[in-house]
Amino acid sequence: MSGRTKKIRQKFEVNSVKRIGLLGGGQLGRMTIEEARPLLAHISVLTPDYPSPAGLIADEVYVGDLDDYNAVMELAEDTDVLSYEIEHVNTAALHDLECSGRNVIPPSFVLGLIKDKMLQKKMLDRAGIPTAAWREVPEAGMIDSLLREAEALGGFPLVQKARRGGYDGRGVCVLDSAEAEFLPVPSFLEKKVPIQKELAVICVMDASGSVRTYPCVEMVFDPRANLCDSVLMPARIDEALMKKAEGLALAVVEALKTELADYCSQVTKKEPRYAPVMAGVFAVELFLDTSGNILVNEIAPRPHNSGHVTIENCVTSQFMQYYRILSGYPLGSTEMVCPAMMVNLLGEADASGEPSYVGIEEALKIPGVFLHLYGKSEVRPFRKMGHLTAIAPTVHEAIRRAELAREKIRIVSL
Ligand code: ADP
């Protein structure tokens, strides 16, 4: 059995290609690597878990804590550009790297603004961008403090949001009355918006300042898991609202750029090499309320669940766009080729342990259906394990195909 073949551990690098260092090893990183392969991308990831979705296919894997200053510095040593596919990373390390002339996309200042949801709200207010009315809860964990602010906002129902650390609905708590259980962490209160639809627009900006938006999508939430269940492009709203949503997303990214410029002019006095450039993929989540107003809910400074459909239904996917931006290549077209619906594939409510995928064959028999499995080594109840996208000539048919495929697939534990 031995001696007939030579097993080679492959390593392939192209000198002219920028080496990207990505903080985070999840599915967003994985899909970025998958999409960037045709351009001979070299992408290393820092991830706390081994194995991890992105780590399994990255050129190099650094196993370490995303909040560890030195771990971020180690990743930076071997890479030309740094970015992140999750907000919960060591921002100070990224800032110090920028001060030594390194390129971080989007800049650490922008990440710092976004990662604290209250700073985000303040920034949107300064820019005159409409959001749900809100007030800070000055004393974390104190019911009196919360009730005072609740009253100042006109009473319940309200939504309490943790300033930091939230993700996929964690850190967000709907308070229907003064008796509701609240989060004992630094937070703010928001008026509960009477939501007609949840929308999102992905906006991409390259280092030269070129900026483009994708068509607005509609997001449907799963109340059991409090996370995004499915996404439809285009959103079923009229043309004027589409334009308005896309205009708001552009305004958000321009506002971030303006704030960065102001901050930059202060820092460069002390740190002459600090020259961050506003660029990146930004997801702007929106509420369409029952009166027809559009409000900005929140911003993500990275590819986003609401943009997964773009892999199959737009000329350039959000992930390819991300890679182009990181590498200094020009933006691609954000034009939609055909309607599509994406459905997140979550672990079953009782699944726990090694995953097993049931019904893949049946789902793939449906025309226009594409499957993306993230390679997570463990399934848990409602954990995002993959997604499917159905493309079709009409929105109606995309929904039909996606719903049909969804019924076929279950992710259980062995
Ligand atoms: P996360 O960062 O965890 O996604 P979000 O701020 O997007 O948190 O909130 C999660 C969900 O909670 C939203 O998609 C929406 O369904 C609901 N929600 C958040 N804020 C409000 C609000 N002010 N009014 C009504 N619903 C809200």
Task: Determine whether the shortest distance from the Cβ of 228 to ligand 1 is under 6 A.
Answer: no
Given a cut of 80, whether residue 10 has pLDDT beyond it is: no
Given a cut of 80, whether residue 223 has pLDDT beyond it is: no
Q: What is the pLDDT of residue 383?
A: 96
| Cβ atoms 351, 380 nearer than 8 A | yes
Helices 91-99 and 108-115: crossing angle in degrees, nearest 10, is: 160
Please tell me the distance from the alpha carbon of residue 78 to that of residue 394, in angstroms, as a whole number: 46
Task: Determine whether the shortest distance from the Cβ of 259 to ligand 1 is under 6 A.
Answer: no
Q: State the distance from the centre of ligand 1 to the C-alpha of 405, rounded, in angstroms.
A: 27
Task: Determine whether the shortest distance from the Cβ of 192 to ligand 1 is under 6 A.
Answer: yes
Question: For the residues 197-217, what does the mean pLDDT come to?
Answer: 97
| Full DSSP string of 335-399 | -B-S-EEEEEEEBPTT--BSEEEESHHHHHTSTTEEEEE---S-B-TT-EEEEEEEE-SSHHHHH
Length reported for the chain: 414
* Protein residue closest via CA to atom 18 of ligand 1: 159
Task: Determine whether the shortest distance from the Cβ of 298 to ligand 1 is under 6 A.
Answer: yes
Given a cut of 80, whether residue 65 has pLDDT beyond it is: yes
86 three-class SS = coil
Residue 103 host element (H or E): strand 103-104
- When pLDDT is cut at 50, 70 and 90, the band that residue 228 belongs to is confident
Task: Determine whether the shortest distance from the Cβ of 87 to ligand 1 is under 6 A.
Answer: no
Q: State the distance from the centre of ligand 1 to the C-alpha of 414, rounded, in angstroms.
A: 34
* Protein residue closest via CA to atom 5 of ligand 1: 169
Using CA atoms, how far residue 296 sits from 193, 233, 246, 248, 363, in Å, is 11, 19, 11, 8, 35
Question: For the residues 175-184, what does the mean pLDDT come to?
Answer: 94
Using CA atoms, how far residue 189 sits from 87, 124, 154, in Å, is 21, 16, 11
Q: What is the pLDDT of residue 224?
A: 75
Task: Determine whether the shortest distance from the Cβ of 133 to ligand 1 is under 6 A.
Answer: no
| Amino acid in the structure at residue 264 | C
Residue 303 CA to chain centroid, in angstroms? 5
- When pLDDT is cut at 50, 70 and 90, the band that residue 15 belongs to is confident
Q: What is the pLDDT of residue 369?
A: 98
Q: What is the pLDDT of residue 312?
A: 98
| Cβ atoms 319, 34 nearer than 8 A | yes
Given a cut of 80, whether residue 42 has pLDDT beyond it is: yes
Please tell me the distance from the alpha carbon of residue 42 to that of residue 60, in angstroms, as a whole number: 9
| Cβ atoms 206, 156 nearer than 8 A | no
- When pLDDT is cut at 50, 70 and 90, the band that residue 1 belongs to is low
b/e map 131-157, b = 16+ CB within 10 Å: bbebbebeeeeeeeebeebbeebeebe
- When pLDDT is cut at 50, 70 and 90, the band that residue 160 belongs to is very high
The predicted-structure confidence for 127-148, as pLDDT tens digits, reads as follows 999 999 999 999 998 999 999 9
> Does residue 331 or residue 14 have the better pLDDT?
331
The predicted-structure confidence for 348-385, as pLDDT tens digits, reads as follows 999 999 999 999 999 999 999 999 999 999 999 999 99
For the entire predicted model, the pTM comes to: 0.96
The predicted-structure confidence for 186-199, as pLDDT tens digits, reads as follows 999 999 999 999 99
Given a cut of 80, whether residue 226 has pLDDT beyond it is: no
Strands 42-47 and 60-63: parallel
Q: What is the pLDDT of residue 14?
A: 85
**Residue (of 353, 323, 333) closest to 41 by Cα position:** 323
Q: Given the CA of residue 192, which atom of ligand 1 is nearest to it?
A: 24
Question: For the residues 403-409, what does the mean pLDDT come to?
Answer: 97
104 three-class SS = strand
Given a cut of 90, whether residue 168 has pLDDT beyond it is: no
- When pLDDT is cut at 50, 70 and 90, the band that residue 259 belongs to is very high
- When pLDDT is cut at 50, 70 and 90, the band that residue 337 belongs to is very high
| Cβ atoms 227, 202 nearer than 8 A | no
Q: Given the CA of residue 228, which atom of ligand 1 is nearest to it?
A: 14
Helices 27-36 and 318-327: crossing angle in degrees, nearest 10, is: 70
**Residue (of 133, 141, 189) closest to 161 by Cα position:** 189
- % of the chain residues with pLDDT over 70: 99
Task: Determine whether the shortest distance from the Cβ of 187 to ligand 1 is under 6 A.
Answer: no
Q: What is the pLDDT of residue 111?
A: 98
DSSP state of 16: T
